[in-house]
Amino acid sequence: MKRISVVIIGMGRMGKTRYEAMKRHGGYDIIAVCDSNAANLKGYDEKIYEDWQECIDENDADAVIVCTYNVMIPEIVCYSLKKGHAVFSEKPPGRNLQDTLQMKNALDQSDNLILKFGFNHRYHNSVIEAKALLDSKILGDVVCARGVYGKAGSLKFSDEWRNDTSLSGGGIMLDQGIHMLDLMYYFMGKFISIQSSVDQLVWKDMPTEDSAFSILRTEDGRVASLHSSAIQWRHKFNLDLICTEGFISLNGLLTSSMSYGEEKVSYYRKDLEAKDGKLGKPVEHTMCFDTDESWDYEMIEFYKAVAENKSVEQGTIEDAVNLMEMLERIYCC
């Protein structure tokens, strides 16, 4: 196996998650880790840095892994690309569309370099199975979708960095709801008509939203509704995909907190004559999953892009621009 050298900028929760996934893969040589908080660097055998630019400059790495606050992502990504490194960056792709376009411009000016953004939900087993069902056309075409992604907040939720607009750029919609928006975009295509209500329903003194409701429509008339919430008071993930010949439901999501419930995907074909079941209760097929390999699948794809000159399939700069264009309209409408 060809080995590629990387440095990781940002060793908080996501930096550690990517570090562990690359270690499991075996094709990555992690030569340095960096974080402005020295406490996050304890226990690592790799070279450690507190200055990200120094870390990149002093290590001739094949790739830079960016796991920082949203506000820092564009500068580090653009700098890395200009220095000739492939880049993997956490979502969101900056605080706003302007940040994303800045990175697109840097990539366009680079010499065929690789830039991939981390949207690990596409790599969850339930999502992989749902996409396969849609691609097979056995349930026809998806015509509408309903999605809810909610979390419980916490006692110190309003003080988290994600709710500091100078660092994050937005609230629950940008931080978590972007995953549901990305899945809807993945399954249905880009939404061109968007109506939304972005609100502070409980945390009224917080500078960011605690709820976002959106109705979205594609150019060919397919419709989706999305609710991103920090006031669900219980972690919840649910996505229904209604097709011309059947129905798919994704419920629960395996995460490190194990608080979103069992991850499963169910589907059934419409049975209007009740040949296979009772009217209104057709035969249902359900797949359940007890492992989450999404982080591993994502780092496998990035490895192939860098080491084997493969194309980035998920989390492309085009995906990032489209998502941030839609998010900008959600926040503005």
Tens-digit pLDDT profile for residues 186-202: 999 999 999 999 999 99
Cα–Cα distance measured from residue 276 to residue 264, given in angstroms and rounded to the nearest whole number: 22
Record the tokens describing residue 183, joined without a space.
Answer: 């899945």
In this prediction, residues 119-127 reach a mean pLDDT of 98
Q: Render pLDDT for 190-233 as a digit per residue (tens, 0 to 9).
A: 999 999 999 999 999 999 999 999 999 999 999 999 999 999 99
pLDDT at position 175 over 80: yes
pLDDT of residue 279: 87
pLDDT of residue 257: 86
Record the tokens describing residue 71, joined without a space.
Answer: 């506000």
pLDDT of residue 105: 98
H-state helical runs in 61-96? 73-82
User: What dihedral do alpha carbons 162, 165, 171, 177 form, nearest 10°?
Assistant: -80
Record the tokens describing residue 261, joined without a space.
Answer: 């419930």
pTM, rounded to two decimals: 0.97
pLDDT of residue 317: 98
Domains and CATH numbers, the chain: 4-120+296-311 (3.40.50.720), 125-291 (3.30.360.10)
pLDDT of residue 39: 97
State the chain's mean pLDDT as an integer. 97
pLDDT of residue 125: 98
pLDDT at position 256 over 90: no
Q: Render pLDDT for 304-328 as a digit per residue (tens, 0 to 9).
A: 999 999 999 999 999 999 999 999 9
pLDDT of residue 132: 98
H-state helical runs in 109-217? 125-136, 172, 178-188
pLDDT of residue 333: 73
| Count, residues in the chain | 333
In this prediction, residues 124-134 reach a mean pLDDT of 98
**pLDDT interval class at 1 (50, 70, 90):** confident
What percent of the chain lies above the pLDDT cut of 70?
A: 100
**pLDDT interval class at 153 (50, 70, 90):** confident
Q: Render pLDDT for 20-75 as a digit per residue (tens, 0 to 9).
A: 999 999 999 999 999 999 999 999 999 999 999 999 999 999 999 999 999 999 99
Record the tokens describing residue 292, joined without a space.
Answer: 């989450």
Q: Helix 125-136 and helix 178-188: axis angle, to 10°?
A: 20
Cβ contact 213:150 at 8 Å:
no
pLDDT at position 271 over 80: yes
